[in-house]
Amino acid sequence: MKIGVSGIQGDFREHKQMLERLGVEVLIVRKPEDLDEVNGLVIPGGESTTMIRIMKMVNLYEKLRERISNGFPVFGTCAGMILLSKEVVNFKQDSLKVIDIKVERNAYGRQVDSFETEVEIKGFEKAYKAVFIRAPKVVGYGNDVEVLSTYENSPILLRQKNVLVASFHPELTDDTRVHKYFLNMVK
């Protein structure tokens, strides 16, 4: 199994490290052809407007969208979640529109920019420490979307078939369980 991590922008190195710790071969994806080499893709946290702009510029946008609609597994964290969402409600920006969720950018950032909190995740035996950094909030989701975790009544980890999204940063902890969950989606 080889997993791609989008290296367009953001904290892709941390995702790479995490996946390598789990014994997976990683390719940093920067061009459309790279997608042919991998069995799944992680889109990291960072700056979603920059990411979408560059993805279009290097022609990754169209190919990735088509791939995902044909079942290619993808996991977006924070800005990556914004990129995969159907709609961004508080900014005028495009997205890949492959998971039926509506997000509000920087929604937790108004009170405190960053925080950590223990959450319950469906199927995980013990609590999970989630790290939030200027995180997007899910403000709506469709019937086909499964909510795997919530924080203060908002979903923070969601899945629709081959698309997994988290508003927090699993790559910034030592806990490998969320990445393992994604790898099981790829297998």
Which residues of the chain form contacts with ligand GLN (CB under 6 A)? 45-48, 78-79, 82, 105-106, 133-134
Q: Is 46 annotated as a binding residue?
A: yes
Coil, helix or strand at residue 79? helix
Q: Out of 14, 15, 104, 171, which one is annotated catalytic?
A: 171
Backbone angles phi, psi at 179, to 5 degrees: -65, -40
DSSP 145: P
Q: Is 134 annotated as a binding residue?
A: yes
Q: Is 133 annotated as a binding residue?
A: yes
Least distance from ligand GLN to the Cβ atom of residue 1, Å: 26
DSSP secondary structure string, 107-156? -STTT-SEEEEEE--TT-SS-EEEEEES--EEEEE-TTPEEEEEETTEEE
Considering beta carbons, is residue 2 or 117 the nearer one to ligand GLN?
117
Q: Cα–chain-centroid distance for residue 18?
A: 14
Least distance from ligand GLN to the Cβ atom of residue 36, Å: 27
Considering beta carbons, is residue 15 or 159 the nearer one to ligand GLN?
15
Residues making up the annotated binding site for L-glutamine are 46-48, 105, 133-134
